[in-house]
Amino acid sequence: MSDKIKIYQKPTCSKCRTTIGLLKDRGADFESINYYDTPLSVQELRSLVDKLGIAPRDLLRKGEQVYRDLGLAKAELSDDELIRLMVENPDLIQRPIVVKGNKAVLGPPLKASMNSSEPPNVSARVEKRCQKVLKQTDRQ
């Protein structure tokens, strides 16, 4: 299993850019995959969900217009149907997804500093999750 980290991201996403910056600062060897330019297949997304250890519904971005348009809050869909919808509508996929070997973590929300004119710092949770991925060894 490869030790190289993969980050599935959207370049315009601030959480993605922050996570990539953190990985660069740590000197991590990683591959950045823009899943808008290189769309995920159903099999690839299913694999990511498995590595995350979550249900497909937990990967949905509930604040997106497409989520509301498709009525996903009320829809009773199977995991396979949700994965298919996320592949067809990548705005529905939470990001970034950081993968190393057979484990993955989902980038948590950042909390901006309200009392400063400086850019927000990376939250401790983002750093902790990235460190978790970076520390994974050949246990996989």
With respect to residue 140, please indicate whether it lies within any of the assigned structural domains.
Answer: no
Q: What is the CATH number of the domain that holds 113?
A: 3.40.30.10
Give this prediction's pTM.
0.77
- Res. 139: pLDDT tops 90: no
Mean pLDDT of the residues in the chain: 82
d(CA 100, CA 137): 9
Handedness of CA 113, 26, 133, 31 (dihedral sign): positive
- pLDDT band with cut points at 50, 70 and 90 for residue 120: very low
With respect to residue 40, please indicate whether it lies within any of the assigned structural domains.
Answer: yes
- Give me the pLDDT at residue 140, please: 43
Q: Which residues form the catalytic set?
A: 13
With respect to residue 94, please indicate whether it lies within any of the assigned structural domains.
Answer: yes
d(CA 105, CA 129): 7
Domain count, the chain: 1
pLDDT (tens digit per residue) in 44-70: 999 999 999 999 999 999 999 999 999
At 9, is the secondary structure helix, strand, or coil?
A: strand
